[in-house]
Amino acid sequence: MNTKLEENHTFSKGMQALESNDLLQAIDIFRSLVIQHPDEKDYWYCLASCLQKTSQYELALKAWAMTELLNESDPFPSYFAAICYYHLKNPQEGLKAIRFAKKKISEQNHVLLEEMKSLESKLETL
C-alpha cells in the first residue's frame, strides 16, 4: 500500500465486508492490512473479531494477543480472548484472561463488569 488514502480505502472495504457479514472477505482484507501495518491495533481488532465470529478461535486468540500488546489498557481483547477459551473448553486460560480483563475496568462500568462476572462463572463450571 503506497498511501494513507489507499490504506483508508482498504480499511473501509474491510469494514463494509464486516458490516454486511461477508466475514471471509473481511478476514482477507484485515489480514492484508495487519501484514502491511503490524503496529495498527484497529486492524488487529477487526481481524480478531472476524476470526472469532467465524469460530476460528485459535487464530482469533493470536490476533487478540496482538491487539492486547498494542493497547494494554483496553480490557476488551482479554475479554474476547476469554470467550474464545470458553468455546475451546479451556477454562484455565479463560479464567486468566477474564481476570486480567477485569483488572482493567473501573467499577463504574457496571454492564461490562457484570458480563465479565457472568463469563467468569461459566468458565468456573466448565
Same-domain pairing of 48 and 8: yes
Return the higher-pLDDT residue of 59 and 110: 59
User: Which pLDDT score, from 0 to 100, does residue 4 have?
Assistant: 86
Torsional class of 89: left (φ above 0), alpha (ψ -120 to 50), beta (otherwise): left
Q: Is the residue at 22 inside a domain? A: yes
The Cα 89–Cα 5 span in angstroms is 42
55 and 79: one domain?
no
Yes or no: say if 29 and 10 are a contact pair by the CB < 8 Å rule.
yes
77 and 108 in a single domain? The answer is: yes
- Residue 110's pLDDT band, with cuts at 50, 70 and 90, is confident
Same domain, yes or no: 123 and 77: yes
Asked if residue 68 is part of any domain, the answer here is no
- Domain of 21 in residue numbering reads as 1-59
Q: Which of 124, 52, 50, 112 is nearest to 87 (CA)?
A: 52
pLDDT of residue 109: 81
Q: Predicted confidence band at 2 (pLDDT cuts at 50, 70, 90)?
A: low
Q: What is the mean pLDDT of residues 63-80?
A: 96
* Mean predicted confidence (pLDDT) in 22-29: 98
4 and 48 belong to one structural domain: yes
User: Which domain CATH number covers 15?
Assistant: 1.25.40
* Pairwise CA distance, residues 77 & 22, whole Å: 22
- Give the model's pLDDT for residue 5: 87
Segment 15-22 mean pLDDT: 97
| Same domain (yes/no): 9, 55 | yes
Question: How far apart, in whole angstroms, are the C-alpha atoms of residue 48 and residue 93?
Answer: 17
Residue 6 shares a structural domain with residue 29: yes
65 falls within a domain: no
Positive or negative torsion for Cα 21, 30, 56, 80: negative
**Domain termination residue (choose one: 37, 59, 81):** 59
Residues in the chain: 126
Taking only the tens place, the pLDDT of each residue in 33-65 is 999 999 999 999 999 999 999 999 999 999 999
How many structural domains are present in the chain? Answer: 2
